[in-house]
Structure 1
Amino acid sequence: MNAALDDTQSLIPCNLCGGHAVSVLSRRSRSGAALRTVACKACGLAWSDPRPHEARSFYTDDYRVAYKGSFTPRPKHVLRAGRVALDRLAKIRPWLAGRPRVLDVGSGGGEFAYLLQRLGHVITGIEPNNGYGRYAAETYGLDIRLGFLADRLAPGEQFDLITIWHVLEHTEDPGATLRLLAGALRPGGRLVVEVPNVEAICQSPRSSFHEAHLYSFNAASLGCLARRNGLSICDTRLSADGGNLTMVLAPADAADPMPAATIEGNHARVAGVVAGHTPLAHALSSHPWRRAGSRLAGAVSEWVELRPGENGRALLDRLYGPELGEAVPARPALPVATWASLAAAYLAAVFVEEWFVDHWAAANGWSSGATLGVYLALQMAVIAGVIALARSRRLARRELLRVGGWAAPLLAIPAVC
């Protein structure tokens, strides 16, 4: 980074108003690397200045490896994206009537596009990342166009619904992207844009900006940018934690006046929120505890839901089944041998308790604390053995938890005997 760079001026002109007068919001990315993020004093749009990478090569080959650690989606990534796809479906349901033709820009691993395809919609995806794009096409049989939007959208091609989930912030020219998408909407069509909210305080302050996000928006800057590029605003909403901003847009009427590019007070608003989002303020809020709890619950849920050897398509078919009106498979019955082993473990526990606690330990002068500690260790070994037997029967993880749940009452024997 150029150390002599004037903190009141940007190298890159504002994508909304064209100005160069800025203030610096941050000098570090969430990875700890140098990253200068500025906000326009005239309109409040924020961006990385200078650019942290060459966008085309980064998103074609490096992005997924840098942020997911894998060239193609792993099962846990598929499960997470599949759950997000169900949430996104709920957001766009009002515009899915009549089997519209849909374009998903930045289709990633294809989980959202596959859900719409399973629902009977004609959907096309555009994805610049080679690994994820090819995976989506080959695994789910999707119409995925590898490359960037400007190169892969045919002249005159139009859609009833276009979605661009967490992609606009990655583009080098978000205004031109919105203008191109506005031209690809049929009359009465809708464009759904979702981006991170620059005013969010749910994440750690150190994670507010990073190399992959070239631009950062709030509702005012995104709405103004959309209106200046041929779109009108139908709906704007924030996620429950304030982290994501979703905007539904329609082709603008030719008679609609062009809004001013400047937004009075928006720079002060954005700069104030970012400056006030300090590590101390964040630590004293409920956000870090909620996020930690959510991550723990998510990790447990993933461990339960993922099945060894299951491919992405089978995983999504199982996840999407209820939404598609498909019967949920009944839980498989536990093998008779497993139940027999569990019953034997209970009998063994009673025998051990009777012999060890009432006879051997007492006869050798053990304290009650030491006796209980050894007894609980023995019972934990019994439970682990039962679960190991269940694993040897190749039960799903959900079934292993059932076995563990039935075995857990063994630990209560000292309290009732």
Structure 2
Amino acid sequence: MNNEPVRCALCGGVDFREVVPGGRGARVLRCGGCGLVRTIFPTGKAPSAGHYDKDYYAPWLGEQSAAREKIWNRRLKSIERFVPAGRIFDVGCGDGMFLEVAAKAGWETEGSDISEWAAQYARENRRLRVRAGELQNMDLPSDYYDAVTMWHVLEHVASPLVLLEKVRGMLKTGGLAVAAVPNASAIIYRAVYRIFKFRSSLSVVDREPHIHHFDPSTLRMIFDKAGFRVTEIIPDAGYAGALRKTLDAFPVALAAVSGINISTAIEIRAIKK
């Protein structure tokens, strides 16, 4: 049995307080040092890549396809405010639609996903360069990419700081890193989870439970520690469903006027120092 204490993935601390019961023997803990919240699974591991199969992606490729394409176009335009079309790498690219949108806009694209099914779909159906596996284990060029994106990836990663350090090495100096994650501090985020999934946003009773739960403060801290200069943290309006888009409209407007971020998800943009 491994008797090593659980350490925070951000500050390395070992002082934790239980936030809520996670269900199925899991624990949801908040670090007393930096405030990062994480889930400890009874098996020691989160669900594997096998969860992300053809059935998982069926809604993406079916009824959500048109809405997702609009989301990807909007996200790409926001990136191009900071970086002109160049080399872009999408971590956790799924079926590859974002990379396809970027390629049509003149970007040189690459991506990765832990799902072999998704990577194969992106290669065969979208003719993209996509690798299957963990980014940390891939041999990729250094100081090469103009932008690296991570759309709702960091919350699923056991060692997010290690991933961000890898991303920093891939980027050119001045290159842009972009990530979106659920906003763990948002009341609306918790309400949306209860509306749609009938359980707490911190529950592990889900087909893709989150390992880490970021708020704007801890998200900024982990990017700072990885060697980035954070330029902004804004609401991420990335939902495909009509009701979810409506729920996100108010937080986006509030943030624009007041700077207060109560959105269900947040997006960070940061420059490699």
TM-score, length basis structure 2: 0.78
Distance 1:216 1:145 in 2: 26
Per-residue CA distance 1:194-237 (angstroms, 9 max, x = gap): 11111122224523124431101111111111111111111111
- Structure that is richer in helix per residue: 1
Q: Are the structure 2 counterparts of residues 210 and 91 from structure 1 closer, same or farther at C-alpha, using a change threshold of 3 Å?
A: farther
Q: Give the deviation of 1:72 after TM superposition.
A: 9.2
Which position in structure 1 is the counterpart of 2:202? Answer: 209
Distance 2:68 2:216 in 1: 25
1:150 pairs with 108, 117, 136, which one? 136
2:26 pairs with 24, 28, 35, which one? 35
Per-residue CA distance 1:224-272 (angstroms, 9 max, x = gap): 11111111111111244411111111123xxxxxxxxxxxxxxxxxxxx
Distance 1:150 1:235 in 2: 25
Task: Determine whether 1:167 maps to 2:167.
Answer: no
The residue matched to 1:114 in structure 2 has which SS?
helix
AA of the residue aligned to 1:38: L
Which position in structure 1 is the counterpart of 2:52? Answer: 63
Distance 1:145 1:161 in 2: 17
Q: Are the structure 2 counterparts of residues 63 and 140 from structure 1 closer, same or farther at C-alpha, using a change threshold of 3 Å?
A: closer
Distance 1:175 1:198 in 2: 18
Distance 1:143 1:72 in 2: 23
1:104 pairs with 78, 90, 93, which one? 90
- Does the 8 Å CA contact 2:25/2:42 hold for their aligned counterparts? no
- Does the 8 Å CA contact 2:136/2:162 hold for their aligned counterparts? no
Q: Give the deviation of 1:147 after TM superposition.
A: 1.3
Per-residue CA distance 1:66-101 (angstroms, 9 max, x = gap): xx545795412433432331232233121342x211
Per-residue CA distance 1:371-415 (angstroms, 9 max, x = gap): xxxxxxxxxxxxxxxxxxxxxxxxxxxxxxxxxxxxxxxxxxxxx
Instruction: After TM superposition, list the pairs within 5 Å mapping 1:6-405 onto structure 2.
Output: 11-28=5-22, 33-50=24-41, 54-55=45-46, 58-59=48-49, 61-64=50-53, 69=56, 74-97=61-84, 99-156=85-142, 158-202=144-188, 203-205=192-194, 206-211=199-204, 212-239=209-236, 240=248, 241=251, 242-252=263-273
What is the percentage of aligned positions where both structures have the same residue? 25
- Unpaired runs of 5+ residues, structure 2, are 237-247, 252-262
AA of the residue aligned to 1:20: V
Q: Are the structure 2 counterparts of residues 187 and 38 from structure 1 closer, same or farther at C-alpha, using a change threshold of 3 Å?
A: same
- Unpaired runs of 5+ residues, structure 1, are 1-9, 253-417
AA of the residue aligned to 1:23: R
Distance 1:218 1:128 in 2: 25
* Higher CA-based Rg: 1
Which position in structure 2 is the counterpart of 1:377? Answer: none
- Does the 8 Å CA contact 2:142/2:171 hold for their aligned counterparts? no
Q: How many residues align?
A: 235
Distance 1:63 1:24 in 2: 29
Distance 1:178 1:52 in 2: 25
Q: Are the structure 2 counterparts of residues 233 and 96 from structure 1 closer, same or farther at C-alpha, using a change threshold of 3 Å?
A: closer
- Structure that is richer in strand per residue: 2
Distance 1:69 1:80 in 2: 17
Per-residue CA distance 1:322-349 (angstroms, 9 max, x = gap): xxxxxxxxxxxxxxxxxxxxxxxxxxxx
TM-score, length basis structure 1: 0.52
Q: Are the structure 2 counterparts of residues 210 and 171 from structure 1 closer, same or farther at C-alpha, using a change threshold of 3 Å?
A: same
Which position in structure 1 is the counterpart of 2:240? Answer: none
- Does the 8 Å CA contact 1:164/1:192 hold for their aligned counterparts? yes
Distance 2:79 2:132 in 1: 24
Quote the RMSD (CA, aligned, Å).
2.4
Per-residue CA distance 1:288-339 (angstroms, 9 max, x = gap): xxxxxxxxxxxxxxxxxxxxxxxxxxxxxxxxxxxxxxxxxxxxxxxxxxxx
- Does the 8 Å CA contact 1:188/1:250 hold for their aligned counterparts? yes
Per-residue CA distance 1:8-42 (angstroms, 9 max, x = gap): xx95211111112111112135xxx4431111111
Q: Are the structure 2 counterparts of residues 184 and 110 from structure 1 closer, same or farther at C-alpha, using a change threshold of 3 Å?
A: same
Distance 1:64 1:77 in 2: 17
- Does the 8 Å CA contact 2:52/2:117 hold for their aligned counterparts? no
AA of the residue aligned to 2:34: C
Distance 2:148 2:56 in 1: 29
Q: Give the deviation of 1:179 after TM superposition.
A: 0.9
